Amino acid sequence: IVTLEVTGVDGESVGSGVIYSADGWIVTNRHVVEGATAMTVHLEDGRDFPGLVYGIDTLTDLAIVKVEATGLTAATLGRSSAIQVGQTAIAIGSPLGVYTNSVTAGIISAIGREITTESGRLDGLLQTDAAINPGNSGGALVDAKGRLVGINSAILSPSRGNIGIGFAIPINLAASIMNSLVMTGRVSRGYLGVSRPDSVT
């Protein structure tokens, strides 16, 4: 898990990210890094690297960041498709941008949730009661074996603090988006279109 210190047009903010591969690819949330003019990536071992936003996917609130580093310890991926309600969930991140690499535990409260945020509608989410607070966005949701099953993305709270309703993007989806962005720099989606002719003869 890494901490992202972001400077943008709206000021400074702090979020979290997950090392996806040993050669410096990091997955986080779009809303953490969008509009960044400068970014510092803080690793748990004390090293700092400048980060570059390499790609963004608006529909899933995902983004990837690149740092020029090798030999990093990447997350072990799990299978979010195998997640069941009631199983252990552990959230890791940097709440409030101060308490780096904090760990909280709970359960998977629901799967396939849909929410509307300031960034738009997100669906297919994992819901958890593991404490997620501002600054945790982009951090890891892992199972009891430490396998990455989701990317923490949003909370539902009138006070903007934890009330036990948090949401994560399933890793099966995140991995697909990540791979597409790394390989092509963009996300390609298929669609089915149906049209009706203006007149029928």
Give the model's pLDDT for residue 188: 61
**How is residue 35 written in tokens?**
């509009």
**42 labelled catalytic:** no
Comparing CA positions, the residue from 199, 201, 151, 189 lying closest to residue 31 is 151
**137 labelled catalytic:** yes
- Catalytic, out of 13, 16, 31, 153: 31
Tell me the three state secondary structure of residue 69.
coil
Average pLDDT across each block of 10 residues of the chain; the chain has 201 residues. List them in order.
Answer: 88 92 94 93 93 90 93 93 94 87 94 82 92 91 95 84 87 89 69 53 40
Give the model's pLDDT for residue 200: 44
Q: How far apart are alpha carbons 74 and 148 in whole angstroms? A: 10
Q: Tell me, what DSSP letter sits at residue 65?
A: E
Q: Give the neighbor-by-neighbor strand order of the sheet with 11-21.
A: 48-50, 36-42, 2-8, 11-21, 25-29, 62-66, 52-57
Q: Which residues contact 167 (CB under 8 A, 6 or more apart)?
A: 113, 115, 122, 125, 126, 127, 128, 152, 153, 154, 155, 156
**61 labelled catalytic:** yes
Give the model's pLDDT for residue 134: 87
- pTM assigned to the model: 0.87
Give the model's pLDDT for residue 129: 95
- Catalytic, out of 16, 137, 143, 153: 137
- Catalytic, out of 16, 42, 61, 109: 61
Write the secondary structure of 40-63 as one string of H (helix), E (strand) and C (coil): EEECCCCCEEECEEEEEECCCCEE
Instruction: Write the single-letter amino acid at 95.
Output: P
Give the model's pLDDT for residue 182: 80
